[in-house]
Amino acid sequence: MSEEETGAKGSVTIIGLGPGDPRLLTESARIALDRAQDLIGYIPYVARVPEREGLVRHASDNRVEVDRARHALELAMSGRRVAVVSGGDPGVFAMAAAVFEAVEQGPADWRNLTIEVEPGITAMLAAAARLGAPLGGDFCAISLSDNLKPWDVVTARLEAVLRAGLSIALYNPISSARPWQLGRALALAAEILAPSTPVIFARAVTRPDEALRVLTLEEARTAPADMATMVIIGAPTTRLIERDGRLPFVYTPRSVTA
């Protein structure tokens, strides 16, 4: 969409930085970063983008997503080319929804801005790729954060997808403000799935401190996790392929028998 069409000079591009390894960035995301005049995002994501002349950096703390989104939109209205960065994919529990919330609630002329989303490799797909194909059948992505939705909604959704036989990627599994949610989610899974169901704890995937664990559901219930951990609960059909001296492959076959 050109400037002539929109009538506005500025733009907001919401960019997915992928899981961490800079080689997992798309070329399109890199081009968008190179064109930006302002860079907005949570501190560790802004830190991933190399400094360069002409790029103004606005790093902010966590949990201020809508303020950050408004800031981006205001800068764009003043004519700036703004990049908002998220880890992973910006459309998956990240900044894209926050920007569109701000647009909907904001002044009418924000709607005429050029606002684009550059997709990225989201954490669940990066983690899955490191271990095989655990999301090879039907699957879902559920955030365990109850900042923005009641815990009852989280558990109702979990129970539905557990009973339906989907693989489940849990985003935001744990933090100092949410210490017990992951344990409750795994306890619920244990009521429905076999104790031997594979569960992946994939920490800091593709980053220097990456740590991958393949556990049983029984083991997972007491295993440590942190904010950087992606948890994938296998489906009833998910299988392990054991290997000598290495982590097993984990995959979910494409077939389901009745």
- The continuous run of DSSP H or E covering 162 comes out as helix 151-164
Segment 145-164, which members bind a second copy (CB under 8 A)?
A: 148-150, 152-153, 156-157, 160-161, 163-164
- The continuous run of DSSP H or E covering 143 comes out as strand 139-143
Sheet of 38-42, strands arranged across: 56-60, 38-42, 81-86, 11-16, 114-118
Q: Does 194 contact a second copy by CB under 8 A?
A: no
CB of 37 to a second copy, least distance (A): 21
Q: Does 199 contact a second copy by CB under 8 A?
A: no
Alpha carbons within 13 A on the beta-carbon side of 86: 27
Nearer Cβ to a second copy (172/229): 172
Q: Does 22 contact a second copy by CB under 8 A?
A: yes
- Two tokens at 57? 């950096």
> Quick one: which of 56, 64, 227, 256 contacts a second copy (CB under 8 A)?
256
> Quick one: which of 72, 82, 166, 220 contacts a second copy (CB under 8 A)?
166
Q: Does 210 contact a second copy by CB under 8 A?
A: no
CB of 161 to a second copy, least distance (A): 7
- Two tokens at 41? 């995002």
Q: Dihedrals φ, ψ of 103, to 5°?
A: -60, -45
End-to-end CA, the chain: 48
CB of 126 to a second copy, least distance (A): 6
d(CA 255, CA 201): 25
Q: Does 189 contact a second copy by CB under 8 A?
A: no
For β-strands 239-243 and 229-233, DSSP reports them as unpaired
Segment 90-119, which members bind a second copy (CB under 8 A)?
A: 90-93, 96-101, 103-104, 111-112, 115-119
> Quick one: which of 42, 45, 201, 251 contacts a second copy (CB under 8 A)?
251
CA angle 231/242/220 to nearest 5° reads 30
- Two tokens at 181? 């949610």
Segment 73-92, which members bind a second copy (CB under 8 A)?
A: 89-92
Q: Does 141 contact a second copy by CB under 8 A?
A: yes
How far is residue 194 from each of residues 28, 113, 181, measured CA to CA in Å? 43, 51, 20
How far is residue 82 from each of residues 37, 71, 231, measured CA to CA in Å? 6, 10, 32
Binding-site string for a second copy from residue 227 to residue 246, where x marks contact by CB under 8 A and - marks none: ------------x-xxxx-x
Q: Does 122 contact a second copy by CB under 8 A?
A: yes
Nearer Cβ to a second copy (156/194): 156
Nearer Cβ to a second copy (24/75): 24
Q: Does 191 contact a second copy by CB under 8 A?
A: no
CB of 244 to a second copy, least distance (A): 7
